[in-house]
A and B are shown apart, each in its own frame.
Chain A
């Protein structure tokens, strides 16, 4: 079998929803196995149909629990769901505990649900570098809804906006005062706010803080003022299902607005621009670095820089110059 027909067969299997092939491809993409990109080329054409939802918030805010509830809510609507749950890698050992799926295991036997955990592997934006490619895989599998659960975020991990059509920011009462809410970063990226654990004291104040924050906003794209959904009573299934069902409806309403306005096109253009820039970077930098490593020149450069015989900027320009000359035009 030729490489290309093998890739096409893999791509077909993924489009038929084959879990084993899909999960192996995601693994290969994470591990940066070159052949994985070839398979991706075959499935790319079949992507772009799914609604991508981002769930973000601080550690312990309830992201996995809300994700689990959303899976259930979408399954009640007959939608298929893919989940990418990101947890941090250790900066010291590279190891990771991926524990998000504990909350979602009741869906493990449901063929309409695919849950995959990803470690950040050094990425800083709250996601994994492989997340964009993994979204394509789930999208090609035909999942209607793809939920991305970020790592527990602080103020700055906002990369989710590059991928998700709808960003849900989870907040819990008692995390800080109005000044926290005024700061740039995560409070700016919400399409929907969720006040989780709203049965705790401080939920009302948090709601009014969000509201006054939004009052100060210069305007809202498409006229969508991010609504706030309060979720409480996680241990009482009827009211909890009702509130998370309401969240599901609000998420879908937001997507509907994107579709009906030009915003979905804007989003796609922004994402595509980012994607091609990243792909160019990978296509040029990776082979150059590989070649420099293979030939020992990288080591040689390191030695010269350490001895102060050369500076990294000149060597980089030199290396870039010699490779760019060899690109056929």
Chain B
């Protein structure tokens, strides 16, 4: 019996941003798709998020930010993961993110960005294609 690996996803909200409805909907959606989802709540520092991701041994971190601080906070999560030897953990982001910031985030190691209007199915498809199911 070849056992399939269970994919673990962490949904996290860095910085001073209490708008977590989207994050919760996404967590629930991934749950219903059969993933184990760790949700860490609002107001997290990049270091807290990176440490939690390592302790939980997740495959994917989904960052949500609606405050405008994504340019600073998203790259810091990636660099914190790297600093702890966990650069193999995939990081994606979502929120109110202007298109002109995409290149900066891509260069910082954010593998995908989803903005308002992105369907849950399109996010799931990306995860299936790039992380697994």
Contacts and interface: CB of A to CB of B under 8 A. Distances in A.
A114 B51 CA distance: 9
Contacts of B57: 20, 23-24, 26-27
Contacts, number: 93
Contact of B27 (A26, A94, A97, A115): A97
Contacts of B6: 30-31, 94, 119, 121
Interface of B: 1, 3, 5-6, 8, 27-28, 30-41, 44-45, 47-49, 51-52, 54-57, 84-86
Interface in A1-50: 19-20, 23-24, 26-27, 30-33
A98 B55 CA distance: 13
Give the one of B8, B27, B32, B57 with max A CB within 10 A. Answer: B57
Contacts of A302: none
Contacts of A116: 55-56
Contact of A95 (B34, B44, B51): B34
A89 B6 CA distance: 12
B24 to A, nearest CB: 9
Give the one of A20, A31, A96 with max B CB within 10 A. Answer: A96
Nearest to A83: B55
Given A94-B6, A108-B48, 11 more contacts: A19-B51, A27-B8, A93-B32, A93-B34, A95-B32, A95-B35, A98-B39, A99-B39, A101-B52, A109-B48, A117-B38
Contacts of A90: 31-32, 34
Given A20-B54, A23-B55, A26-B57, A93 B48 contact: no
